[in-house]
Amino acid sequence: MTPSSTNNTAQLRQNVRYLGEILGQVIQSQGDAGLFDAVEAIRLQSKESRDDDNQEALRALLTELNDKQILDVARAFSHFLNLANIAEQHHTVADYSQTFFSAAASLEGAFRQLSADHETHRVHAVLKKLSIDLVLTAHPTEITRRTLIHKHGEINDCLTRLETLRDNPAETSRDYGRLKELVSQIWHTEEFRTERPTPIDEARWAFAVIENSLWDAVPQFLRVVDDVCERFDLPTPPPEWSPITLSSWIGGDRDGNPNVTANVTREVLLLAQWQACTLLEGDIATLYEELSITTASDALKAQAEGALEPYRFVLKPLRDRLQAQRLHIEKTLEGELEGPPPLTMSEVIAPLEACYESLQMVSLGVLARGCLLDTLRRAHCFGPYLIQLDIRQESARHTQAISELTEALAVGNYQDWSEHQRCEWLRAELHNPRPLLPRDWNPTPETQEVIDTFFVIAETPQSALGSYVISMAAEASDVLAVQLLLKATGCGTEMLVAPLFETLDDLESAPRVIEELLSDAAYCARCDHQIMVMIGYSDSAKDAGMLAAGWAQYSAQEALLKVCKDADVKLQLFHGRGGSIGRGGAPAHDALLSQPPGSLENGLRVTEQGEMIRTKLGLTPLAVNTLGRYASAILQANLTPPPEPAKEWRLLMNQLATDSCEDYRRWVRDEPSFVPYFRQATPEQELASLPLGSRPTRRRSDGGISSLRAIPWIFAWSQNRLMLPAWLGAGSALAKAAAGGHEATLKTMAQKWPFFGARLSMLEMVFAKSDLTIAELYDRLLVTSELANLGAALRQQLSDDRSVLLGILETETELEHDTWGRESIDLRDIYTAPLNLLQAELLRRQRGNPDKATERALMVTIAGVAAGMRNTG
């Protein structure tokens, strides 16, 4: 059986079936016919209906397996899911699905709509201001090894060639053989790291994504923009137009992660620069070979001092400089040399621009707009430092540092001061020209580490850095404290200091805090009348539930926009979204168009996290299409903003937020059995011991839910298919509103208000991925009888909430109008369900009689279920 040319999801299913058959052949080739027969019997049983009897039949097949078979069956189904995901990713970028997913289609659709409603010059003006800043972050639920990710990418390439060259038997035969090789390699490769990755490992992983995908995706995306502009008679963007920025938290995010130290940050910055030099050096070497021509402008000839090959003459010093910088960095990393002298953006850009301008002047634009233009655009985007590294630290660490400092200065204990006292002292010291840090000061190791981080910032070129993010920010003093520490360590005031408002209370206080900061003319001058504010999606949802948190995020953005507009200050909103619904995840286009009007005026800055980096940016075509969806949504939002919510909708949304928060907290905070139930019904305890990321799963080891990070909180619930953080509280609030006579208003809001419609769409997706039968099985195997009633009540709540949602949407099943989404879930669920059942059994065994073999099989099921659920953390 081979991939056919059948269109749409039929083609996807054919590819999934074909890859599955190859995996089956690999398993059979090991001579274990029993394993293949067991896998096939389990797969066929899983395809049957999802009633309780069928689930028991499936479980009966699984319980017959011995320890070795359990591991191999878990590996088989986990690999099936990864192969299915590869086929689905391929489907989204293949020619036959271009209408739905491609960057060209996204931008053409946006331009067509905007050109019909607006004059061309307005569309062009908004395009010129386009800004997309993707902030890559490490993810403790991304557990796929880099070597496997590379093989997955090769499988995608094979599928592409098979469909492109299907009429060339010799070529297709070669690719069929290569597919079998790759699947066999995957089956015989260890799936997991044996040790937890370091922040350096995580940084290398992110840089590999840039090298293998984004390095080509950025210029390809910009060429798509060029083509669309030409089609719609808009001016083609100039070479220096650089709407894409790549930033990172990896190696800079020390919030609750003791493994990220000042030395680690310094090393990551060097590694990023090394990667940039290596990639640019390769590009310049290619240009050097290609630009052997002798025709040049007088200006370039003068610069080349009469050389026969002027372009090579101009490019050679840049090639040599990049090589020397790369070698110096290597010796620095080996401890043989001090850090290299800065390599500036102008050093990289100037020779490339000189060549480009010369070729244009002598009517060789076809050469100027070839690989030279791509290199020039890469240089503008990535520069000599590859990424801009953000630094993140928790506000309490700054408070501790300032407190130790004030005590050393004998002016009191800063921690004991009121907010007013803190701000007065901080503002006075920001104006004081004398050095602040005493020469004989001996701070605690924790504070010394904070100060050392600021010294790393001081020694780093500003263009290699992004913003300084303060997590758990709550007051103006949190921002002023960081500004003072920057000043005290010689960093200057150029670095943007971004408070991150995370909890419900902090989001509600955010406008007041920013207004207080902007009331100080000196503050506005220091930040050059532009500020960045980060909106936290993860912790606010964990704190208050997804519906209340979503409304708090929307309201905070609205109020912040007004505060900054009144103060004549430019506001850059920074969205800390994750992949899952409980962390602000949603389809990119819909999520952006559901934000408040004006919120994208200064561009988009958003976190891209872990497995979502791989899903959205891991392959060049995927990355190009992701950029296209972001760009089209930003253009639409800025030229045709979403409607302001009607007064009636605001009032009802306020009540929905209040009711949903109360119900969510009633379960999570007030129910004394909730935490014990959570730890029994999910693999939360086991996640902490698995080598999934450099950052601990908890901020503190002695806390309950409040100390647990949002990512493992959501990840654990997705494993047992209850998906609780993504829906709890929302359905009961909707039911109360509908029963109170607001059903018609809810339906109108769903249809006419993008914010509310997007929330209901997210709920619909969550309910489609949940599985009450599987959740009940986890309870039956893992939860004590004293807690069983709580699990039953939560499952009943989910069932009731689902009915309420379908009533408002006026549909009979989830995703009734999204056949692609429904197909995608159903396709993977055949393989996910057996892994869920295996996982529940393995958790029971591991908690009763732990051993390494069971732990490894458990890891495989966790990875497999994560692959099946896709946006899990």
Strands 388-394 and 570-576: what pairing? unpaired
What integer pLDDT is reported at residue 100 of this predicted model?
47
Give the pLDDT mean for 15-43.
Answer: 87
CA distance 543 to 667: 12
What integer pLDDT is reported at residue 46 of this predicted model?
83
What integer pLDDT is reported at residue 6 of this predicted model?
38
Confidence of residue 138 (pLDDT cuts 50, 70, 90): confident
Asked if 127 and 603 count as a contact pair (C-beta separation under 8 A), the reply is: no
Q: How do residues 274-297 score in pLDDT, each as one tens digit?
A: 999 999 999 999 999 999 999 999
Asked if residue 252 has pLDDT above 90, the reply is: yes
Give the pLDDT mean for 235-248.
Answer: 96
Q: Which of 223, 8, 220 is nearest to 100 (CA)?
A: 8
What integer pLDDT is reported at residue 50 of this predicted model?
61
Stated pTM of the model: 0.92
Residue scoring higher pLDDT (108 or 661) = 661
Q: Name the 3-class secondary structure at 462.
A: helix
In this structure, which amino acid lies at residue 716?
Answer: A
Neighbouring residues of 866: CB distance < 8 A, sequence distance ≥ 6:
141, 143, 611, 715, 718, 719, 872, 873
For tokens 């409607």, the residue is: 643
Q: In terms of C-beta density within 10 A (0-12 exposed, 13-18 middle, 19 or more buried), how is residue 730 classed?
A: buried
Q: How do residues 158-196 score in pLDDT, each as one tens digit?
A: 998 888 777 677 677 888 899 999 999 999 998 877 777
Of 91, 139, 151, 328, the active-site residue reads 139
Asked if residue 144 has pLDDT above 80, the reply is: no
Q: How do residues 622-642 score in pLDDT, each as one tens digit?
A: 999 999 999 999 999 999 998
Exposure letters 345-362 (e unless 16+ CB within 10 A, then b): eeebbebbbbbbebbebb
Q: What percent of the chain has pLDDT over 90?
A: 69
For tokens 């070497």, the residue is: 285
What integer pLDDT is reported at residue 301 of this predicted model?
96
Asked if residue 54 has pLDDT above 80, the reply is: no
- The pair of structure tokens assigned to 318 is 């840049």
Highest mean pLDDT among 9-13, 57-61, 346-350: 346-350
Give the pLDDT mean for 832-850.
Answer: 92
CA distance 818 to 523: 49
- The DSSP code for 141 is T
The CB density around residue 300, as the number of other CB atoms within 10 Å, is 22
Helices (H), 753-784: 754-769, 772-782
* Bridge partner list, 467: 496
Q: How do residues 544-571 score in pLDDT, each as one tens digit?
A: 999 999 999 999 999 999 999 999 999 9
Give the pLDDT mean for 802-815.
Answer: 95
Q: In terms of C-beta density within 10 A (0-12 exposed, 13-18 middle, 19 or more buried), how is residue 873 classed?
A: buried
Give 506-523 as a DSSP string. Answer: HHHHHHHHHHHHHT-HHH
Question: For the chain, what is the mean pLDDT?
Answer: 90
The CB density around residue 519, as the number of other CB atoms within 10 Å, is 12
Of 398, 487, 542, 575, the active-site residue reads 542
Exposure letters 852-870 (e unless 16+ CB within 10 A, then b): eebbbbbbbbbbbbbbbbb
Asked if 774 and 50 count as a contact pair (C-beta separation under 8 A), the reply is: no
CA distance 828 to 830: 5
Asked if residue 812 has pLDDT above 80, the reply is: yes
Segment 151-156 long-range contacts (CB within 8 Å, at least 24 positions apart): 151/182, 151/185, 151/186, 151/189, 152/82, 152/86, 153/212, 153/618, 153/619, 154/178, 154/182, 155/19, 155/83, 155/86, 155/179, 155/182, 155/183, 156/86, 156/89, 156/90, 156/619
Neighbouring residues of 510: CB distance < 8 A, sequence distance ≥ 6:
499, 501, 533, 556, 559, 560
Q: How do residues 67-102 score in pLDDT, each as one tens digit?
A: 888 999 999 999 999 999 898 888 877 644 444 457
What integer pLDDT is reported at residue 2 of this predicted model?
38
Confidence of residue 251 (pLDDT cuts 50, 70, 90): very high
Asked if residue 585 has pLDDT above 60, the reply is: no
Least confident of 114-128, 242-256, 442-456, 526-540: 114-128
Give the pLDDT mean for 829-853.
Answer: 91
Asked if residue 584 has pLDDT above 50, the reply is: no
What integer pLDDT is reported at residue 700 of this predicted model?
54
CA distance 640 to 110: 10
Strands 604-609 and 244-248: what pairing? unpaired
Asked if 730 and 763 count as a contact pair (C-beta separation under 8 A), the reply is: yes
Give the pLDDT mean for 373-378.
Answer: 98
In this structure, which amino acid lies at residue 636?
Answer: Q
Q: Is residue 139 annotated as a catalytic residue, yes or no? A: yes
Q: How do residues 747-787 score in pLDDT, each as one tens digit?
A: 999 999 999 999 999 999 999 999 999 999 999 999 999 99
Asked if residue 471 has pLDDT above 60, the reply is: yes
With vertex at residue 723, the alpha carbon angle to CA 806 and CA 702, rounded to the nearest 5 degrees, is: 145
Q: Which of 799, 674, 661 is nearest to 730 (CA)?
A: 661
Q: Is residue 91 annotated as a catalytic residue, yes or no? A: no
